[in-house]
Structure 1
Amino acid sequence: MPPIFRAMALMGLAMPALAMPGLATSALAMPATVQRAADAVTIGVAAPATSVDPHFFNAAPNSQLASHVFSRLIERDARVQLQPGLAESWRAIAPTVWEFRLRPGVTWHDGRPFTAEDVAFSLARAPHVPNSPGGYGSFLRLVKQVEVVGPLTIRLHTRQPHALLPTEIAYISIIARHAAQGATTEDFNSGRAAIGTGPYRLLSHSPNDRTELARNDTFFGPREPWSRVTLRFIGHDAARTAALLAGEVDMIDQVPTADLARLRAEPRVGLFEIQGLRLIFLQADFSHDGAMPFVTDQAGQPLPRNPFLDLRIRRALSLAIDREVLAERVMEGAARPAGQWLPPGVYSHDPDTPVPPFAPEQARRLLAEAGYPDGFRLTLHSPNDRYPNDARTAQAVARMWSRIGIRTEVAALPWASFSARSARQEFAVRLSGWGSSTGEASYFLANVLGTYDPAARRGAANAGRYSNPALDLMVDRAAAILDPEERERLLRGAVHLASEEVALIPLFHLVNAWATRAGLRYDARMDERSLATGLRRAQ
């Protein structure tokens, strides 16, 4: 039995699979007894990476792991501001041409030199990874040509002026052509192709368990203080908190909301928080016209037509939700009610798109107008180990919908299973999340609400298959506008249109939180990534 489970048993606590909500608070009584090597750290993460392949799946856990092993042309700091990475500088040398000057003297983990050919190879591969549940093609949708000018100079030619290219290119990990040519995603998972230029080298990756990393002593950036880093998957909230207090891990992410108040007063712990960019939302299925899975009448018979294609139904579902209750009770104050995917104060947040009101009587009238005076039945699918209180949130929404006559059951699944099935459009309605870590609206518009079109590299994360050509056109027009004020005006219009259409149902924005053992500090990130590069000894 692992030490943390022994500790929980000695304290009279249930094992993680059977734990109750109060477990996290009880875990705070555990003594910190495990000693750790001074230059090695273990980070307890709430969600596992589904692959080491940095181009396989555009999901935060995968990007988090990739950020340790691989570098990008442009990096983003904790406040999502752009910083030089493998590119020392970049500039638009023509309306549709961006030039990147690459950093000299960079080597791969195996000692071979990094060149512009590696960049060209990476940009060609990223949109075309087989079996990807949601890849990186949207970031390159406007790139029509990659020109290698010299060993350390590369130019990207775009189909139209594209002001956001530096922001979007910051998401593409650069991989080694000599190691990855012809490689599969499994070759990355085994380590054979996982040769990067990042601050850490991959030692091993055990899916749904842990990833072991070693410091890259030839890294082009500042020398890391940690010789070894372990990213350990601990999906259960109480076990994550207990592992920190037992000294088994040095930092945890997604601090359980039930523990926040007491952890702030715990002298053995440092707590680090920041307003996040992740929206938790509900996404209905638009891919079926007729009968669809997990939706029936009250007698259990399939409905003849997909009810979510009716705007009145979507509005009713949104109006039936009390977002204040979700944020204050379910999330225990660690979230803010939302009516759009960007929080206030962020570029292209639309001030004319408010948080939808809680109006259950109006929701019932809309259901009746749409031909469902007695409501219907559905299943809401949710992950149970991906976002803070994800399954609890789904249960709360189910109760709210049931009160207006839409009898709702919840099916909560592990993230690996949920994400794969969601990408295959197997769900009627899903609870999901998206972090707009570009700090502007087009990232969500292109990936989550853009019409699914692999050829156009649009809609990679649009699991619901919502489609609105007018919205797509607005996003394309905004991308071509170099003036930031004019571009923001158009993006705000797109945000408002998506809201009027109820293209999805926003619930709340997360407040990101990390806890460390005493003596450490973490540079809390708006993009919620847990990076060893942000973990340092306290001064």
Structure 2
Amino acid sequence: MLIFTMVFIGFAVPFAYADAPSTWAKDTISEAESILGQTDVLHVGQGFDPRTLDPHNTNDTPSPRVMEQIYETLVNQNEDMEIEPGLAESWKYIDDVTIEFKLKKGVKFHNGETFTSKDVKFTLLRALESPYVGHVLGEIDPNGIKIIDDYTIQIVTTEPYAPILMHLSHTAGSMLNEKAVIEAGDDYGFIPVGTGPFKFDLWITGDSIELTKFNDYHGEGAMVERVVFKNIAEAQRRFNELKNGQIHIAYDILASDIKRIEENKELTLYRDTNLTTSYIGFNVQNKPFDDVRVRQAINYAVDVDLIIEAAMEGVGQQSNGPLGPNVWGSNQELQTYEYNVEKAKELMKEAGLENGFKTSIWTNDNKSRMDIAEIVQNQLKQINIEAEVKVVEWGAYLDGTANGEHDMFILGWSTVIADPDYGLYPLFHSSQFGDAGNRTFYANAKVDELLDKGRVEIDPEIRKAYYLEAQKIIRDDAPWIFLNIGENLTGTRSNVKGFSQHPTGHHQLSGVYLE
């Protein structure tokens, strides 16, 4: 959920109310400490503070995990990634570009305002202007959003757009209340208002976010009174707090802790393939990475199995292309790049670079990624490439890779709607350079054509054929070193009931209770 919906593994952005008195901080910290012994409070540990709770100002992973509890969308994707009603009870196509939605009545925002079609229009227009998520809903025609009545609205796309419902289920489609957004101004991301089963209470920057049960929720209410999201950046500490009973749920468990959880009767492990793909990207605008032979050579020179075993500790499976097997339309017939140093040397010689060159590999301060960078650094020496590993602060990392300041970099992407448009268009279309997702600055006219056709084709079989071909070209062009398809690894205390993982990694907690 970058992202974007990439998936990114963490943001940490400082925030404070500049005019708040010092007693505010003392009071909130005291309150946070006092609830630790309560049985009606669910404590959840994740690796980073959200960047913001404004769904239009980020597309990372930590933020939507909290936003999922606060906001709702017109339609939902269930754990099988099937579309279901959300704040829209029903919908129908008027023509190839127009969908009419009937909204659920009696829905209240956390500030007491009633949810109507006006909020839908306000939300969509605001989302379209966002540099972070505008691309998610970008096919919606801003002049084609028509309010029929308070509970009926029509949404028009600029052309037929097959995955529109999936995109509306994205966090970018979280329904906002216009009054709340305007009143909060620039602070909205830190005092959010939604229609979800939990409402925002307080945020102790760098420490925790607390949500409370929304008693006027229109659906089945939350099972606990409060949820506390604790910012526990160090994975080992996160596991220890889970083991010691200081938190009930720990996201992003290390592979090294899997066995320890499985052997502990007080703990439960949830392990499921998710929608993320990890990769090492090349800046294909920089020499010598503008030569496909060099990119292919590096793919052959890198032992991905070793990386998965050593740096990822066996979690996930090697990817053979940009999409994982649980994304509709993924091409699972593609061949992986085998580990073949001699083949790599041949390609380097063809490119006139048998003596190698100097380059750099960017990573943020994520241990797994730093380990990956070091392994690749050592393996590239076999083909005379001298690679410097640069560890860059997360914010600077995102800015730098968006601006094309890098040679090679390590990131991941989550195709959170399980549709190939979301997993391919932002990353490989030439119109998406930089912040939108294409940080390799890869451009291929045929790929652009296929991705454009795939967006507007209604027939699923024809559409799938476009995406299968596009993935074959991308695999051969090798703008990435294709690493692995990830897993959601979550540990819980054994008294946590009703928890299940969503492939997106954005797990709904309203049905969770403490036995």
Question: Structure 1-normalised TM-score?
Answer: 0.84
Q: How does 1:82-481 map to 2 (within 5 A)?
A: 82-129=83-130, 132=131, 134-143=132-141, 145-171=144-170, 172-181=173-182, 184=185, 186-191=186-191, 194-288=192-286, 306-344=287-325, 346-385=327-366, 389-453=368-432, 460-481=436-457
Taking the aligned partners of 1:441 and 1:244, their CA distance within structure 2 comes to: 36
Q: How does 1:59-70 map to 2 (within 5 A)?
A: 59-70=60-71
The answer to whether 1:495 aligns with 2:471 is yes
Name the residue aligned to 1:301: none
The letter of the residue matching 1:260 is I
1:535–1:426: structure 2 CA closer, same or farther, 3 Å change rule? farther
Name the residue aligned to 1:526: 503
Taking the aligned partners of 1:251 and 1:257, their CA distance within structure 2 comes to: 16
- Cα offset, 1:377, TM superposition: 1.9
1:124–1:380: structure 2 CA closer, same or farther, 3 Å change rule? same
Name the residue aligned to 1:535: 512
Taking the aligned partners of 2:326 and 2:289, their CA distance within structure 1 comes to: 32
Contact 1:342 1:440 in 2 (8 A): no
Q: How does 1:6-21 map to 2 (within 5 A)?
A: none
The letter of the residue matching 1:523 is S
Deviations 1:199-220 (A, max 9, x none): 2111223443321111111122
SS in structure 2 of the partner of residue 510 of structure 1:
strand
Taking the aligned partners of 2:354 and 2:482, their CA distance within structure 1 comes to: 25
The letter of the residue matching 1:274 is D
SS in structure 2 of the partner of residue 261 of structure 1:
helix
Deviations 1:252-308 (A, max 9, x none): 1111111111211111111111111100011122455xxxxxxxxxxxxxxxxx211
Taking the aligned partners of 1:327 and 1:48, their CA distance within structure 2 comes to: 27
SS in structure 1 of the partner of residue 271 of structure 2:
strand
The letter of the residue matching 1:423 is A
- Cα offset, 1:466, TM superposition: 1.8
The answer to whether 1:76 aligns with 2:77 is yes
1:449–1:231: structure 2 CA closer, same or farther, 3 Å change rule? same
Taking the aligned partners of 1:497 and 1:221, their CA distance within structure 2 comes to: 46
Taking the aligned partners of 2:205 and 2:344, their CA distance within structure 1 comes to: 43
Taking the aligned partners of 1:175 and 1:66, their CA distance within structure 2 comes to: 12
SS in structure 2 of the partner of residue 347 of structure 1:
coil
- Cα offset, 1:345, TM superposition: 5.3
Question: Structure 2-normalised TM-score?
Answer: 0.87
Q: Which runs of 5+ in 1 are unaligned?
A: 1-33, 289-305
- Cα offset, 1:394, TM superposition: 2.4
Taking the aligned partners of 2:245 and 2:262, their CA distance within structure 1 comes to: 17
Contact 1:138 1:459 in 2 (8 A): no
- Cα offset, 1:453, TM superposition: 4.9
Taking the aligned partners of 2:188 and 2:104, their CA distance within structure 1 comes to: 25
Q: Which runs of 5+ in 2 are unaligned?
A: 1-34
1:282–1:45: structure 2 CA closer, same or farther, 3 Å change rule? same
Deviates more, 1:155-164 or 1:166-175: 155-164
Taking the aligned partners of 1:446 and 1:214, their CA distance within structure 2 comes to: 38
Cα RMSD between the aligned structures? 2.2
SS in structure 1 of the partner of residue 269 of structure 2:
strand
- Cα offset, 1:413, TM superposition: 3.8
Taking the aligned partners of 1:399 and 1:452, their CA distance within structure 2 comes to: 35
Deviations 1:437-477 (A, max 9, x none): 222211121211122359xxx97112222222321221121
Taking the aligned partners of 1:451 and 1:536, their CA distance within structure 2 comes to: 46
- Cα offset, 1:105, TM superposition: 0.7
Identity value in percent? 23
Taking the aligned partners of 2:179 and 2:146, their CA distance within structure 1 comes to: 19
